[in-house]
Amino acid sequence: MLPSNLVARRLVPFALPSLPSAPLPSPREAHLWCVKPDELKDASLLQEYMKILSPCEKENVLSVKGEVLQKCALLSRVLVRTTLARCLWIEGLSSGCLFHARLDTDYRINPRSFKFKKNRFGKPEVEWQHNDVSFLPSLQFNVSHTSSLIACGITVNDPIGIDVEEKQRRPNADVLSLASRYFSPPEVQYLKSLVDSDSQKIEFIKLWTLKEAYVKALGRGFSGAPFRKFTIRFETRGDLVSEKLKTGEFRIAVEPVSDHETLTANWQFALAEITGSHFAAICMGIDENDTGKEHDLLKLKVWKTLPYMEDECLSDSEAVIKISGLS
């Protein structure tokens, strides 16, 4: 099973160090944790990662064809499990529940301890155990991957959907044909209004990731929320003169095309460029009870990680460029 390009460097048994904790997202805030599969080069680390998975997950990873894809499948599960575990560690401690079965001897939540289920449309969710409900916050998560970046977005309580794509991705097919076939008419018009064909391709990819993030946030699957039935709009804030708008001042909103009971509009969007290489689109549910304040801009924090090995906070650095919808 060991991919041929990895080298087993260690001659002594390899044990994972402790998983550092991570902050819990604040209300109305999304955290994005990213892994670059190319940074996983150590075969013994890969073996340890496999031990974090459930038997079913292991079986599924091994059924994926090809080393690169297999590594991505593995990292995807490791990222979800470790991100959830590390965010909950401090919560578990502070709530005083020190003898909970899911805690390791050093009171950390064991990443292996999570169980997952699917909602009735098939969206993956944490299956909280009976004892969790009283003391653990309700973490919501969503995963997206490309062969070069895997991302896991988390919030507390708010439904979330994310999508990442390589900035350099160019569809093989003509983007206007693709848009005419799959996007809503206003979106097609928007793309047609762009004079430069490369801009058209880039904006297509951005729209694609935003639409994908919305569908995943809704949790109803591609066929439950057809792309053609909703429009993603970039809206300027009404009180600002257009020439004075800084990057990121646009609010991104979704508008269902017709009165569709499953396509709702109470969602907040953000688009960012990560490490100069990827677009990341985040869609977060707006609590309808949270009235009074206009929810223009989403709060986002980003980390790059190789679980157990290293973490790097990317927020407020050049590695995260806000494109739209971010405070």
Partner 1 sequence: MATLSAAFASWKPAASFINQTKGLTYRAKVASIGTSRLNFPSSRSSRLHIRCAAKPEIVNKVLEIVKRQLALSNETSLAPESKFSEIGADSLDTVEIVMCLEEEFSISIDEDNSQNINTIQDAADLIDQLVQQKTEVA
**Does the footprint of partner 1 cover residue 181 (CB under 8 A)?**
yes
Both structure tokens of 231:
């429009």
Which residue of 36, 169, 233, 299 would you call a contact of partner 1, by CB under 8 A? 169
Establish if 56 lies at the interface with partner 1 (CB under 8 A): yes
Q: Check residue 203 for interaction with partner 1 (CB under 8 A).
A: no
- Contact between 16 and 108 (Cβ < 8 Å): no
Single residue of 4, 17, 63, 242 touching partner 1 by CB under 8 A: 63
Member of 18, 147, 197, 199 binding partner 1 (CB under 8 A): 147
Strand order of the sheet with strand 29-35? 139-145, 150-156, 29-35, 299-306, 310-313
Instruction: Please list, residue by residue across 28-43, b when 16 or more beta carbons sit within 10 angstroms of its beta carbon and e when fewer do.
Output: bbbbbbbbbbeebebb
Taking alpha carbons only, the member of 181, 175, 177, 249 closest to residue 206 is 175
Does residue 224 belong to the site contacting partner 1 (CB under 8 A)?
Answer: yes
CA atoms within 13 Å, Cβ hemisphere of 211? 25
Q: Does 168 bind partner 1 (CB under 8 A)?
A: no
Q: Which of 9, 168, 185, 222 binds partner 1 (CB under 8 A)?
A: 222
Of 147 and 197, nearer to partner 1 (C-beta) is 147
Contacts with 185 (C-beta within 8 Å, 6 or more apart), sequence order: none
285: alpha, beta or left, given left = phi > 0 and alpha = psi -120 to 50?
Answer: beta
Q: Does residue number 113 form part of the binding site for partner 1 (CB under 8 A)?
A: no
Closer by beta carbon to partner 1, 123 or else 301: 123
Which residues here bind partner 1, judged by CB under 8 A? 56-57, 60-61, 63-66, 68-69, 72-73, 76-77, 116, 118, 121-124, 142-147, 163-165, 169, 171-173, 177-178, 181-182, 208-209, 212, 216, 219-224, 226
